[in-house]
Amino acid sequence: MADTDRVRWDREYAGRVSGPPGLPQVFAQYVAEIPVAGHALDLACGAGSASVWLAERGLTVWGVDVSAVAIEQAHELAHRHGVSDRCRFSVADLDDGLPPGPPVDVILCHRFRDPQLYPAIVNRLRPSGLLAISVLSEVGARPGFFRAAAGELDVAFAGLRAVAAGEGDGQAWLLARGAPTADTPAV
């Protein structure tokens, strides 16, 4: 990501008041699908609202974002909610790829789209792990560089087992599980 983008996101978060911890609304009716233990990776985590929510649920979470301002706010939110011991936050430019690390039980990616990362996201998910991804979409909105084409998530994550999905009103989203291995029971 260009430095101008990083500066833009830092400005976007500067002066913003962090909201309460919470799962992105698009996934709210699927809370029961989210595990209560394990490890999660929150991509483009912003000020950490979803990361802290996942940690309060019982997961150990690593949130990454390009904005140092957002990451500082995420640290503060985790501290205020008593989950600093289960949250780790890092400044990372996802245009450089996913930060290295072990497979995780949950990957959350809300409102960040980079089709070049889709294979790495699949590879980072543990067998039977949960992917929760939402992106801006051309379906029901004007086409644009940051918007997914119709069916993009279905095609990109066809190797996963869809739990629920939707597309319309300018948003596409998918909740899917990785395929279980012979020694990993299906969830």
108-147, pLDDT tens digit by residue? 999 999 999 999 999 999 999 999 999 999 999 988 888 9
Q: How many domains, the chain?
A: 1
Please tell me the distance from the alpha carbon of residue 116 to that of residue 56, in angstroms, as a whole number. Answer: 31
| CB half-sphere exposure, 85, CA atoms < 13 A | 2
**CATH code of the domain containing 48:** 3.40.50.150
Give strand pairing partners of 63. 42, 89
Provide the angle, in degrees to the nearest 10, between the axes of the packed helices 3-13 and 68-80: 40
pLDDT at res. 5: 77
Q: Which residues of the chain have pLDDT under 50?
A: none
- Map residue 142 onto helix, strand or coil: coil
Please tell me the distance from the alpha carbon of residue 123 to that of residue 160, in angstroms, as a whole number. Answer: 11
Residue 167 lies in a domain: yes
Residue 184 lies in a domain: no
Residue 183 lies in a domain: no
Residue 13 lies in a domain: yes
Residue 185 lies in a domain: no
Amino acid in position 99: P
Residue 16 lies in a domain: yes
Residue 137 lies in a domain: yes
Question: Phi and psi (nearest 5°) for 148?
Answer: -75, 145
Domain that holds residue 133: 1-178
Q: Which residue has the tokens 């029971």?
A: 185
Residue 5, C-beta contacts closer than 8 angstroms, at least 6 positions apart: 66
pLDDT at res. 6: 82
Query: What is the DSSP-derived secondary structure letter of residue 48?
Result: S
